[in-house]
Amino acid sequence: MTTPTINHETANQTTADAARNHDPAAVKTKARLAGALYLAIFVIAPFAFFIVPGSIVVDDDATATAANIVDSEGQFRAGMVAETAIIAIELVLAGLLYALLRPVSRPLSLSAAFARVAEAIVQAVNLSTSGIVLLIAGGTGYLAAFEPDQLDALASLFIDANQFGVMIWGLLFGFHLALLGYLIYRSGFWPRAIGALIMIASVGYLAQSYAHIVAPEHDAFFEGFVVALAAPGELALTVWLLWKGIDVRRWYERQADASPI
């Protein structure tokens, strides 16, 4: 009779993995950290995307815009730094939300994470347009081949290109929010109302981005439209994550029922 061989190392590893996978404090910590990162975005984003552009860019006046960039170069650079912080936060949030929502649907949570990562990549690439604006405003020697009016026009061109890039990552973010809202709605460990509000927020971002592509003359209207639709859902999610975190019992129930695929 052959005595079965017990691999104690494998058994111990399995036990350790099980312990790690059943740590309620770790799940709640992930949720709270996600809430803190969302709060950081609420604090940083207005400065990067509204205050800095609003104080520097003068519509239909390339000369005044170029002069403002030179006069407020420090603020312009601070806005760029704020954007890099947002990009880093978006990447971490993508991973946290995937880990939290994977029990609901692994394919959809992975798609939502990819969409948020893609959004962050587009933001990073789009930031290069701000760098070009700084080079133009700095009057580097080889730019002497251009007339001052031409340089002002080039700076305004890249500012407009940056705005178009914002709308592209807005499309990706809108797609992410649509999936995120659906996953939250189906989760059972977060309120369905928040999921519904997040899906409504996705409509705002998608509408603003597509409107900028097909009807840019209505940009002013859709700037207010996206804030009205997006703020309630994103703020509600942030508050809930910081206040309640997550229903850990329901999360483990969903994890136990989740398909391995």
| Segments making up each domain of the chain, as ranges | 26-246
Tell me what percent of the residues of the chain surpass a pLDDT of 70.
89
Residue 188 backbone class (left: φ over 0; alpha: ψ -120 to 50; beta: rest): left
Residue matched to tokens 């020697």: 141
How much of the chain is helix, strand and coil, in % rounded to 5? Answer: 85, 0, 15
- pLDDT of 100-125, one tens digit each? 999 999 999 999 999 999 999 999 99
How many Cα neighbours within 13 Å face the side chain of 250? 12
For residue 160, what is the enclosing H or E element?
Answer: helix 148-187
What lies within 8 Å, CB to CB, of 16 at 6+ separation is none
Under DSSP, the state recorded for 50 is I
Which phi and psi angles does 83 have, rounded to 5°?
A: -65, -40
How many Å separate Cα 146 from the centre of its chain?
A: 38
Across residues 27-56, what is the average pLDDT? Answer: 93
Whose CA is closest to 254, among 106, 151, 144?
A: 106
Residue matched to tokens 């960039």: 69
pLDDT (0 to 100) of residue 84 = 96
pLDDT (0 to 100) of residue 104 = 96
Across residues 163-184, what is the average pLDDT? Answer: 95
What's the predicted TM-score (pTM) here?
Answer: 0.86
Q: Does 13 score more than 80 pLDDT?
A: no
Q: Does 29 score more than 50 pLDDT?
A: yes
Q: Report the number of secondary-structure helices (H) and strands (E) in the chain.
A: 10, 0
